[in-house]
Amino acid sequence: MTTFLALFTCASMSQSFYTGPIIDMHLHAYTDSNPMFGMTHPPTLRGETFNGVASPAEQRERTLSKLSEHNIVKAVVTNGELWKDNDSEAILIGKSSGTIEMLRRLHQEGNLQLISEMTPFYDGVLADDPSQLPYFELAQELDIPVGIHIFPGGPNYGFHIMPEMLGGMRTYNANPLQLEDVLVKFPSLRLYIMHGGWPYVDDVKALMYAHPNVYVGIGALWVLPQEEFNEYIKALSNAGFGNRIMFGTDQMVWPQTIDAAINMVNSAEFLSLEQKEDIFFDNAAEFLRLSEEETQLHKGL
């Protein structure tokens, strides 16, 4: 009986462990100037630490290796032009800053697929600040998606660990409802809230209820304990928004976080295999408007 139960349990786990193609909606490419190189990630809220890569070359090599290892067929990479020549099919270029004229030119040249990751939060600036509106206006005009950082994001306790980079963060500026006026002003905008908008689950549900063009990415939620992650995803799924949750890692200089992010979703036992497929691939494929032909190609159909 014990052997039978063990075999049954293993079979059940393998049947709910997703191994198909993945779209990562949140990655970063850096140059030598980034101060996080060589940094050890502080213990997450689940107690894990991660060793940082030492250089841009190591970051690129190890991250692209993880994409191949985990069948990540598309990846939204902020500053992805740095890696485009290494994997032109998988890399979708996002930009987080620049003049409107520069972004428009990059798009015309085929070197901009998203405005992502917008990070006014790090400077204490709200999403609906007049300084940010031209970026949303451009994204709607060009019909490209926007990914915006609100909360959590960055290492936990980041204000205390990296004040030179994250000194403008304030939890009182983290509520995703700051996007309401943006979404009203630009009703055709395709927008995703990076890091899931945790812990403001009720406000995220309200935004998703009111605006069908709002999705969430779950990058960086690997900092949370598994049960907290489960409750957050369950709340959105139970509310009817499971088809707008997209996988992401927010891999910065810690390539192991890609493993952690994938394992976190696969360890959410309440999710069916179909629901995991939605999170890992299907929802993002729809959001990015991948063709049916490309979707079937990635799935081997």
pLDDT tens digits, one per residue of 151-208: 887 777 777 877 777 778 888 889 999 999 999 999 999 999 999 999 999 999 999 9
Has residue 9 got a pLDDT over 50? no
Average pLDDT of the chain, as a whole number: 92
- The candidate with the shortest Cα–Cα distance to 41, out of 216, 149, 197, 162, is 162
The residue segments making up the domain with residue 43 are 21-295
pLDDT for residue 129: 96
Has residue 4 got a pLDDT over 80? no
Examine residue 4 and state whether it is found in any structural domain, yes or no. Answer: no
Q: How many CB atoms lie within 10 A of CB 93?
A: 22
How many whole angstroms separate alpha carbon 187 and alpha carbon 136?
Answer: 10
Residue 183 vs residues 114, 200, 208, 212, 292: alpha-carbon distances, Å: 17, 18, 11, 10, 28
Examine residue 6 and state whether it is found in any structural domain, yes or no. Answer: no
- The candidate with the shortest Cα–Cα distance to 266, out of 229, 236, 292, is 229
* Alpha-carbon Rg for the chain in angstroms: 19
**Residue 11 pLDDT level (bands cut at 50, 70, 90):** very low
Has residue 293 got a pLDDT over 90? yes
Examine residue 198 and state whether it is found in any structural domain, yes or no. Answer: yes
How many whole angstroms separate alpha carbon 229 and alpha carbon 7?
Answer: 28
- Domain total of the chain: 1
Q: Which residue has the tokens 């927008």?
A: 191
Examine residue 13 and state whether it is found in any structural domain, yes or no. Answer: no
As a dihedral over the C-alpha atoms of residue 234, residue 239, residue 242, residue 246, rounded to 10 degrees, the angle is -80
Give per-residue pLDDT as tens, 16-48.
899 999 999 999 999 998 889 999 998 999 999
CATH number assigned to the domain comprising residue 57? 3.20.20.140
pLDDT for residue 15: 61
Examine residue 130 and state whether it is found in any structural domain, yes or no. Answer: yes
Examine residue 1 and state whether it is found in any structural domain, yes or no. Answer: no
How many whole angstroms separate alpha carbon 297 and alpha carbon 98?
Answer: 35
Examine residue 124 and state whether it is found in any structural domain, yes or no. Answer: yes
3-state secondary structure of 148: strand
Examine residue 177 and state whether it is found in any structural domain, yes or no. Answer: yes
